[in-house]
Amino acid sequence: MPREFDCVVAGAGLVGAPLALGLARLGLKIALVEQRVARPAPSEPSAAGSDARGLALARSSARVLTDVGLWPVLAPHATPITTVKVSQRGHFGTLRLSHTDLGVEALGYVWRADHLQAALDAAVLSSTVTRYWGARVTGCDVTETAATVHLATTDSSRALSAALVVAADGVESAVRRVAGIAVTRHAYAETAIVANVDVERPAPNTAFERFTTSGPLALLPLGGRRYVAVRTADTATAQALLATTESIYLAELQQRFGDSLGAFSKLGPRQAHPLVLQRATKLHAPRVLLVGNAANTVHPNAAQGLNLGLRDCAVLLTSIADARMRGVDLGATELLQTYAKARAADHRATACFTDTIARVFALPSSVAGATRALGLIVVDRLPLLKRGLLQRLAGSGGAY
């Protein structure tokens, strides 16, 4: 069967769509498969929903979006983060991270998720990428020369052949499943509740991470008085918080965070996200590669999950560009292994980093609390440690 495409990308979300756009800019023939049934209409990000969750993207992620041609559209809707303040409820000590510590204009950026997805949808629709909306992957057959992906829609089925299949279809990846790649999984028995709030005295361009023994609370600036509040709690507590009134939930957030930003108000819709640490046992099978949440799903503290997936995109785009220059088959074992080797250290380090924070800050004893407080002070006072942490958060810290 002749190969119709150079690459089939499964998943048109926040990792799959930038990857497909980047591959198309390399001159490749790309198919993008997405389960969303409604075909998205081209639109400006400002036309998206009124109160969606925000996403913190590191500088490395901003570079990926620049490389695939999206920065001019996205930049006007980004809120730069110039300062991050890390603290622990009930204990002394605050870690302050500033863009001046790295000599950059911003540590990262916050976008509304609906703005970012709308911009990606519009870019895909105006690109050379062939789109298959409302389609799900049901199988994948591999030969020495091609991979054939089987798709099903509500009323039909078809097959796509390509040199390479990339799974960017999330934590429950269908491509990963049909490729026979297993995962290791640890459920944290925690749920993150995401909702937007107004604060009385906003701190411009400042993000906050406040740890408590019952889970962290993060505040990400959306501009003006609006912040994204990400409240993590054990699953039973989270269910109770989801069922409370707006005034009770705001009071709980206020009590947990403190009064430094003044009163919380105007609570937006609450969304619940169960937390897991899940890692694929390998990143490739014959003519199949995993990226994003299909490869790794990590704890949301330090906002590393999406940024890790976009770093997958950056490395894969570089690997494929190099393979094309050398005339290497895009599905060749050499390319798959090179990608997997290049990503292994970052994957391990990020999973370890986020998991360690989750476990260490959950220890309830007063001795543990005092030790954590001392650790925040030490990092705050030692430039080399602070710089290393900033490089990790910015997506350029390597493995440690």
Residue 189 to residues 151, 157, 183, 352: CA-CA distances in angstroms? 34, 38, 18, 18
Residue 398 or 7, more confident: 7
Does this model's pTM top 0.85? My answer is: yes
According to the model, what pLDDT value does residue 41 have?
54
Residue 45 — pLDDT band, cuts 50, 70, 90?
very low
Domains of the chain: 5-53+114-184+277-356 (3.50.50.60), 72-112+188-275+365-393 (3.30.9.10)
According to the model, what pLDDT value does residue 46 have?
44
Summarised one tens digit per residue, pLDDT across range 119-174 is 899 999 999 999 999 999 999 999 999 999 999 988 889 999 999 999 999 999 99
First-last CA distance in the chain: 46
Neighbouring-strand partners of residue 112: 54
Dihedral over alpha carbons 124, 130, 134, 138 (to 10 degrees): -130
Summarised one tens digit per residue, pLDDT across range 9-23 is 999 999 999 999 999
How far apart, in whole angstroms, are the C-alpha atoms of residue 288 and residue 333? 10
Residue 125, exposed/middle/buried by CB under 10 A (0-12, 13-18, 19+)?
middle
Dihedral over alpha carbons 277, 281, 286, 291 (to 10 degrees): 20
